[in-house]
Amino acid sequence: MPTYIVSLKDDATPDQIKEAKDLAVSQGGTIGHEYSLIKAFSVTYPEGSVNTLDSNEHVKAVELDGKVTTQ
C-alpha cells in the first residue's frame, strides 16, 4: 500500500488539519504519523485507491513517501 506525506499550508489551523485528516480517512486512508515540527501527516491508501487530498484548500502538497538519502 502506498504511503503519502500530506503537507498543510503554514496558516492551517488545528481544525483545518483535522479536516484534512478526516478527509483522508473517509477516502479509505489510514493515518500513520503526525508530524509536530511541520504541519503534516502520513497516510496510507490501499493499492489502486484514488484520493483527492490535493484539492483541499488547506493542503500545500501530497507526495509519495520514499527513502531519502544524501550524497
Instruction: Write out pLDDT tens, residues 10-62.
Output: 999 999 999 999 999 998 999 999 998 999 999 998 876 667 777 888 999 88
Instruction: Report the pLDDT value the prediction gives residue 69, as an integer from 0 to 100.
Output: 75
pLDDT at 71 over 80: no
Structural domain for 15, as ranges: 3-64
Domains of the chain: total: 1
DSSP collapsed to 3 states, 31-68 = EEEEECCCCEEEEECCCCCCCCHHHCCCEEEEEECCCC
Non-local (6+) Cβ contacts of 12 within 8 A are: 20, 39, 58
Instruction: Report the pLDDT value the prediction gives residue 66, as an integer from 0 to 100.
Output: 78
CATH number of the domain bearing residue 25: 3.30.70.80
Instruction: Report the pLDDT value the prediction gives residue 11, as an integer from 0 to 100.
Output: 95
pTM of the model: 0.83
Q: Identify which has the larger pLDDT, 69 or 36.
A: 36
